[in-house]
Structure 1
Amino acid sequence: MPTVQERVEIDAPVTEVFAYVDDASRAHEWLVGLTRIEPVGSVRHGVGAQYDGTVRVGVALDSRIECTAWEQDRLIVLQSVDGIENTQRWEFAPLGEDRCEVRACISFEFPGGPAGRAIARVVRPLVGGAVQRTAANLVGRFARAR
């Protein structure tokens, strides 16, 4: 399964950054390529929260994702339950009182055996660029807020 990783340091407390990333209603402000995100069910964050979404990175990728792991100010893991198979792992760590580190690890797979693997090889650089720009958006979002 192709994987893209990114690590950034942000000039803001881990509690603020975690809360911002954990708020799906604000994901369109920083998540590059996100064209749609809609909650499914009554759980809005934490384990069990589900969302239908579309991300456009060269092609439109539709998925229903579910939060499968959530630790306050430390971890958010989202896994697809329908659509394009993908996993997003967001890790947060304090670097003092007013600074933190965010690590993103995004894995994805297309159906179709060899054809799906070929598509994934083509799309991987696009996903990688989107993840880099997403990380930069998070850094910039908190730089502007200060």
Structure 2
Amino acid sequence: MGHIKYASDVGAPVEVAFTYTDNHLFVPNWMFGIVSFEPTGELDRGLGATFAAAVRLGLWRQTVTCEITEYRRNAVIGYTLRGRLTWTLTLRFDPLGYGRSALTSETEYSPPRGFAGRLCVGPVDSAAKSALRRTETQLRREIEEFHVTDLVGRIA
């Protein structure tokens, strides 16, 4: 199982960062490769909420299921995507003071199996690192932009 972790400083308080990340409507704006993210159950947020996520990476398209598998308000939210591969994205939010927070992005993924899978370990690891870095960078930008707009009070 592969594991990657990044941390960054976000120019928004934890409450704002978490509120933005917790809203399923914004997921396609920041999660790399996701073009749509629709609830499939009664819940649209919180532990146990499930979604149909359309993934598009180049010519490859697939719909995967996503479940919120870890959730603590204003602290952590974990997404588990299941398709051909299982990929878990965990986002942790910690206050830094002065309206700033630390965002820790962590992913775990299962590499392809079999002989062909062993040959692809390097490229899969490289692609996973790139995807997490792009996700983290875009999420940070989106949170900071969200924080300076007047939408914060209307969505929370």
- What are the within-5 Å matches in structure 2 for residues 41-52 of structure 1? 41-52=41-52
Relative to 1, partners in 2 of residues 1:131 and 1:102: Cα closer, same or farther, differing over 3 Å?
same
Equivalent AA in structure 2 for residue 101 of structure 1: A
1:84 aligned partner: 85
Q: Is the 8 A contact 1:109 1:116 kept in 2?
A: no
Deviations, residues 59-87 of structure 1 (Å, cap 9, x unaligned)? 54643121122100001122245542121
Distance 1:61 1:104 in 2: 24
Relative to 1, partners in 2 of residues 1:123 and 1:106: Cα closer, same or farther, differing over 3 Å?
same
Distance 1:61 1:105 in 2: 23
Relative to 1, partners in 2 of residues 1:113 and 1:21: Cα closer, same or farther, differing over 3 Å?
same
Q: CA RMSD in A?
A: 2.2
1:121 aligned partner: 122
Rg comparison, structure with higher value: 2
- What are the within-5 Å matches in structure 2 for residues 1-146 of structure 1? 1-57=1-57, 59-60=60-61, 62-145=63-146, 146=148
State the TM-score, normalized to the length of structure 1. Answer: 0.85
Relative to 1, partners in 2 of residues 1:38 and 1:114: Cα closer, same or farther, differing over 3 Å?
farther
Equivalent AA in structure 2 for residue 92 of structure 1: F
Relative to 1, partners in 2 of residues 1:75 and 1:117: Cα closer, same or farther, differing over 3 Å?
farther
Report which stretch shifted further, 33-42 or 85-94: 33-42
Distance 1:46 1:105 in 2: 19
SS at match of 1:89: strand
Deviations, residues 6-58 of structure 1 (Å, cap 9, x unaligned)? 11110101001001111111111122221232211111111110112133446
Task: List 4+ stretches of structure 1 deviating above 4 A.
Answer: 57-62
Number of paired residues? Answer: 146
Q: Is the 8 A contact 2:9 2:102 kept in 1?
A: yes
Distance 2:44 2:74 in 1: 16
Gaps of 5+ in 2: 149-156
State the TM-score, normalized to the length of structure 2. Answer: 0.80
Gaps of 5+ in 1: none
Relative to 1, partners in 2 of residues 1:63 and 1:140: Cα closer, same or farther, differing over 3 Å?
same
1:142 is displaced (CA, Å) by 3.8
